[in-house]
Structure 1
Amino acid sequence: MAAKTSRQPRSRDGRMSLGAHLVELRKRLFIAALGLLVGMIAGFVISDFVLSALTQPIAELAAQQGREASLNFTDVSSAFDLRIQIAFTVGVVISSPVWLYQIFAFVMPGLKKNEKRFALGFVLAAVPLFLAGCVAGWMVLPHMVTLLTGFAPEGTTALLTARAYYDFVLKLVLAIGVAFVLPVFLVILNFAGVLSAVTILKSWRIAILAITLFTAIATPAADVMSMFLLAIPMLVLYFGAAGIAFLHDRRKRRSAERLDLELAV
């Protein structure tokens, strides 16, 4: 019997059917889930180290404000639940090269053949940007913990619930990590012909407003310095994506003009 091919059936113009798209999506999701599972196992192994790092801002809070501060587990299973949450978060970060590639590989069939050579470059750009965003969120975390708990009256004790505290850290770190990757998807949509550079540039006011609101939510309103330190690289990435899209559109337009001249001759 002939060996089965893994390639999905396509029409004469090279397009995949809806069923083929669904099969491809299932395959990409399975690979991404497998990578996440492996990352979660590694995350569970190093959960002690991560938990120690998480409690460090609380120790600094106690030293700076001169009062008691501790991380509390309010029920029997909360310690185990927290370790599972840590394993999941670490798994997302560790497996980011896998699931980011799977996302791009699913979108990639929409690109032309001469544009697919940029696929590896986009994935290599998305992974460090995601990790850089996670690092930025982690660096802002201690300042936010100190600032937000500083509103409590003097003489009180900061008893932080482990689950609520970790949810706060998780939302901050992953949200900023994803935000740093969004410019890469703008470039992908431009290469796929969905967005033009002009459209991206025309939306600069909306982008600045969205980034400002995001950083205002991710960092306390009173901590203006952290807000700007977070907003500046996001704005640079946005306009950098617009610049790459502009160069691509110009090259694409010149190629079309050259082809029209050749056909005219």
Structure 2
Amino acid sequence: MTKKIGEPEKDMSFLDHVEELRWHLVRSSAAIFIFGIIAFLMKDFIFNKIIFAPKDPDFITYRAFCKVSRFFGTDGLCIDKIPFTLQSLEMGEQFSVHIWISITVGFIIAFPFIIWEFWKFISPGLYEKERKGAVAFIIVSSFLFFVGVLFGYYVITPLSVNFLGNYSVSELVERNIKINSYISLLRSSVLASGLIFELPIVMYFLTKMGLITPDFLKQYRKHALVIVLILSAVITPPDIVSQVIVSIPILILYEVSIFISKVVLKNELKKELKNG
């Protein structure tokens, strides 16, 4: 039997595993903290150029949608303004927002390192051939996460800001939005998308653990479609166009997950035949 990389000479106790996990978490937290401090010091750029950019009608996403709309001979997707004003109603609200945005940015930037720490924690339980895939795992996981973050920022956030910012039950109601509410919408859209795009990686490990199979994923494809639509309705404005735009990449990721599950299962069967 092939020896596992990093296999200890004696089995580690539960407390030893907990201690090892603790240090991985400490190093990951330290990375988030360091990048968070850098983000904290770049306040003007992060807030004026990134955080508040989707509130500007000239934001790249709105211009792209407008061009698509005009291509089909209509101005239906073009917007002139987003009629709401951001305000701070609590003494420490802006400082609190600054702190949490810095932590969020720190987490996003440090994600590859966090994934590396996760890999080091599970690597002692892997075989030599599997351990060689460390670089590929980190690159693919980070790539999917960053693509998800960009999708959340450039697609979900503008759709949400535009729809909710223009929605009104009456002209008597002024649109004065708390800054914390706006930041929460942006943060949840970005992080949720980043984590959702990790679906193929999750399916890879679930297949390796024998918890799912390609046939299982195919059998429940219709159920997955319903879940995707519900998920899209939760993280996007309640309109059909937004939900369809968000649903498409998630469904593509689901189909990719089926393919990955097939490959993993095929490799596992080959390994069993070889060892058998």
Please classify the TM superposition score into its range, dividing by the shorter chain length. 0.7 to 0.9
Q: Which runs of 4+ in 1 moved over 6 A?
A: none
Between 65-74 and 86-95, the greater mean CA deviation after superposition: 65-74
1:111 aligned onto 2:126: yes
- Structure 1: distance between partners of 2:213 and 2:82: 55
The 1:203/1:121 distance shift into structure 2, 3 A limit, reads: farther
Determine which of 58, 64, 67 is the counterpart of 2:55: 58
The 1:97/1:195 distance shift into structure 2, 3 A limit, reads: same
Q: Which residue of 1 aligns with 2:35?
A: 39
**Partner letter of residue 207 of structure 1?**
A
Q: Deviation string for 1:176-220 (max 9, x for gaps)?
A: 111111221211232344433333433323322222211111112
The 1:105/1:192 distance shift into structure 2, 3 A limit, reads: farther
Q: Which residue of 2 aligns with 1:227?
A: 243
Aligned length: 249
Secondary structure of 2:238's aligned partner: coil
- Structure 2: distance between partners of 1:175 and 1:39: 20
Flag structure 1 segments of 5+ consecutive residues without an equivalent: 1-6, 261-265
Are the counterparts in 2 of residues 136 and 176 from structure 1 also a CA contact under 8 Å? yes
Q: Which residue of 1 aligns with 2:160?
A: 144
Residue 10 (structure 1) shift: 4.6
**Partner letter of residue 46 of structure 1?**
M
Residue 137 (structure 1) shift: 0.9
**Partner letter of residue 159 of structure 1?**
N
Q: Which residue of 2 aligns with 1:206?
A: 223
Q: Which residue of 2 aligns with 1:218?
A: 235
1:97 aligned onto 2:94: no
Q: Which residue of 1 aligns with 2:16?
A: 20
Q: Deviation string for 1:119-171 (max 9, x for gaps)?
A: 32121111111111111111121221121232213465321101111111111
- Structure 2: distance between partners of 1:202 and 1:106: 33
1:188 aligned onto 2:195: no
Aligned-pair identity in percent equals 24
Secondary structure of 1:160's aligned partner: strand
Are the counterparts in 1 of residues 83 and 166 from structure 2 also a CA contact under 8 Å? no
- Structure 1: distance between partners of 2:90 and 2:109: 29
Are the counterparts in 2 of residues 180 and 237 from structure 1 also a CA contact under 8 Å? yes
The 1:67/1:199 distance shift into structure 2, 3 A limit, reads: closer
Residue 256 (structure 1) shift: 2.3
Residue 228 (structure 1) shift: 2.0
- Structure 2: distance between partners of 1:212 and 1:104: 32
Instruction: State the TM-score, normalized to the length of structure 1.
Output: 0.83
Are the counterparts in 2 of residues 68 and 157 from structure 1 also a CA contact under 8 Å? no
- Structure 2: distance between partners of 1:133 and 1:245: 21
Residue 86 (structure 1) shift: 1.3
Flag structure 2 segments of 5+ consecutive residues without an equivalent: 1-5, 59-77
Q: Which residue of 1 aligns with 2:63?
A: none
Are the counterparts in 2 of residues 40 and 88 from structure 1 also a CA contact under 8 Å? yes
The 1:207/1:106 distance shift into structure 2, 3 A limit, reads: farther
- Structure 2: distance between partners of 1:237 and 1:66: 34
Q: Which residue of 2 aligns with 1:29?
A: 25
Residue 90 (structure 1) shift: 0.5
Q: Which residue of 2 aligns with 1:73?
A: 88
- Structure 2: distance between partners of 1:10 and 1:47: 50
**Partner letter of residue 183 of structure 1?**
P
Between 233-242 and 89-98, the greater mean CA deviation after superposition: 233-242
- Structure 2: distance between partners of 1:47 and 1:178: 25
The 1:106/1:209 distance shift into structure 2, 3 A limit, reads: farther
Are the counterparts in 2 of residues 8 and 20 from structure 1 also a CA contact under 8 Å? no
Higher relative contact order (CA 8 A, sep 6+): 2
